[in-house]
């Protein structure tokens, strides 16, 4: 019975490209829907949430990186790769307000990996674990016929009342941002277009791509405030990630472009190469900043508390409005159209 009525999950399309990544995830969700019940929140948010007792839940996230798809050995050092592959998972735990605790690393290595590469990769992994208080609690090692493959699963813990979901935004909320959108995307573009890197601005952008700053402590701090509502990390890009909140919360996310905390390195480099600044800042992924919405009445108090704790401020970049799920950008009082979609692993070349 189960077999019969589910027998057309994937057969309505002719290829994986036609399906796309979100199409694939959608179909997997549909198939396993009955399998994901009230015991936990399943496929879809930054992490799965597994209740462990009356007060606490476990957060679980997993992420696969494949060489020549997610990284290139000549664009990222073994050190940076060691850091970044763990960091992106810690960011997912942070994105729900949790404290990352245990990491599990599966790694597939081709024959030509040198002991020096391993030394750099694992020493940096060790350093990152110590920095963020995470334990490497297990894993798997295997030979790979060709690409380096890295899969992390990270477990975190969160007090149930501090869980923040993409669906928690409320009309009237302010939209806030930590981190500089576009830095990572610009760094990636410098690498991809093989621009001769000739100044510190370029190096800093490449660094933002290869060693994205994390907001682990900040996220845990924010998560404790009842005035903080939806929370997400910027992995797909500001526009698509704001879109995730819009869809899950069924609200309009209205963002004022001139309030975006763009770094001078970013704006100057965009000017230097005539890159479309807003397009890059809004659609390039892997920023790992934190995007959140907060009760407008608590916004000022929270901003002060945050600044006195961390010594810097978050940016208010817009507000949440009632209406059909959408992300709207305004510049100089007018709506500005931003074309393009988020990154789709199966559709892009």
Closest CB to a copy of itself among residues 111, 193: 111
d(CA 175, CA 170): 10
Q: Minimum CB separation from a copy of itself for residue 37, in Å?
A: 8
Q: How far is the CB of 290 from a copy of itself (least distance, A)?
A: 20
Cα atoms in the 13 Å half-sphere on the side-chain side of 343 = 17
167 vs 244: CA distance, rounded Å: 8
Query: Tokens 């997610």 correspond to what residue?
Result: 70
Neighbours of 195 (CB within 10 A): 14
**Nearer residue to a copy of itself within complex by CB, 113 or 197:** 113
Instruction: Count the neighbouring beta carbons within 10 Å of the beta carbon of residue 316.
Output: 18
Residues 79-98 that bind a copy of itself (CB under 8 A): none
Per rule CB under 8 A, count of chain residues that contact a copy of itself: 82
The one-character DSSP state at 155 is E
Name the minimum Å distance from CB 270 to a copy of itself: 28
Q: Which is nearer to a copy of itself, 64 or 328 (CB)?
A: 64
| Per-residue 3-state assignment (H helix, E strand, C coil) for 264-332 | HHHHHHHHHHCCCHHHHHHHCCCCCCEEEEECHHHHHHHHHHHHHHHCCCCEEEEEEECCCCEEEEEEC
- Residue of 175, 293, 288, 162 lying closest to 230 (CA atoms): 293
Q: Which of 5, 38, 53, 198 binds a copy of itself (CB under 8 A)?
A: 53
36 binds a copy of itself (CB under 8 A): yes
* Residue from the set 1, 5, 38, 61 that interacts with a copy of itself by CB under 8 A: 61
Q: What single string gives the DSSP state of each residue in 157-218?
A: EEEGGG---GGG--TT-EEEEES-TTHHHHHHHHHHTT----SHHHHHHHHHHHS----HHH
Least Cα distance to 321 among 244, 269, 255 occurs for: 255
Q: How far is the CB of 102 from a copy of itself (least distance, A)?
A: 6
* Subset of residues 160 to 199 that bind a copy of itself, contact rule: CB under 8 A: none
205 lines the binding site for a copy of itself (CB under 8 A): no
Interaction with a copy of itself in 113-152: which residues (CB under 8 A)?
113-116, 118-119, 122-123, 126-127, 129-130, 135-147, 149, 151
Cα distance between residue 344 and residue 283, in whole Å: 12
Can you tell me which of 5, 81, 94, 102 binds a copy of itself, judged by CB under 8 A? 102
Among 1, 5, 38, 39, binds a copy of itself (CB under 8 A): 39
Contacts to a copy of itself from residues 286-345, by CB under 8 A: 345
Near a copy of itself by CB under 8 A: residue from 38, 74, 111, 324: 111
Q: Which stretch binds a copy of itself (CB under 8 A): 44-52, 194-202, 304-312, 313-321?
A: 44-52
Q: How far is the CB of 301 from a copy of itself (least distance, A)?
A: 35
In angstroms, how far is CA 2 from the centroid of its own chain? 35
Contact with a copy of itself (CB under 8 A) among 5, 11, 194, 339? 11
In the complex with a copy of itself, the residue whose CB is nearer, 106 or 295, is 106
């Amino acid at each position: 019975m189960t077999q019969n009525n589910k027998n057309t999950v994937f057969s309505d399309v002719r290829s994986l490209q036609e399906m796309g990544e979100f199409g694939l995830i959608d179909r997997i969700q549909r198939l396993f829907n009955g399998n994901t019940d009230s015991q936990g929140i399943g496929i879809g948010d930054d992490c799965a949430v597994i209740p462990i007792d009356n007060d606490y839940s476990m957060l679980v996230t997993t992420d696969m990186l494949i060489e020549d798809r997610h990284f290139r050995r000549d664009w990222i050092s073994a050190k940076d790769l060691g850091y970044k592959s763990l960091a992106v998972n810690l960011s997912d735990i942070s994105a729900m307000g949790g404290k990352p605790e245990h990491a599990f690393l599966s790694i597939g290595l081709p024959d030509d990996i040198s002991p020096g590469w391993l030394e750099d990769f694992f020493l940096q992994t060790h350093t990152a674990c110590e920095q963020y208080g995470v334990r490497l609690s297990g894993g798997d090692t295997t030979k790979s016929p060709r690409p380096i493959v890295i899969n992390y699963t990270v477990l975190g813990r969160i007090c149930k009342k501090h869980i923040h979901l993409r669906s928690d935004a409320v009309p009237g909320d302010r939209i806030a941002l930590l981190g500089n959108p576009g830095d990572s995307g610009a760094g990636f573009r410098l690498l991809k277009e093989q621009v001769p890197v000739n100044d510190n601005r370029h190096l800093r952008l490449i660094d933002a791509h290869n060693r994205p700053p994390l907001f682990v402590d900040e996220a845990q701090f924010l998560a404790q405030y009842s005035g903080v509502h939806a929370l997400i990390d910027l992995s797909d890009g500001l526009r698509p990630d704001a879109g995730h909140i819009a869809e899950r919360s069924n609200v309009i996310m209205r963002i004022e472009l001139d309030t975006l905390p763009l770094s001078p390195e970013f704006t100057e480099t965009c000017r230097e190469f005539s890159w479309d600044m807003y397009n890059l800042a809004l659609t390039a992924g892997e920023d790992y900043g934190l995007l959140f919405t907060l009760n407008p009445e608590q916004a000022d108090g929270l901003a002060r508390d945050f600044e006195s704790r961390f010594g810097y401020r978050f940016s208010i970049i817009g507000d949440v409005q009632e209406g059909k799920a959408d992300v709207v950008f305004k510049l100089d009082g007018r709506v500005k159209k931003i074309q393009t979609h988020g990154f789709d692993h199966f559709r892009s070349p």
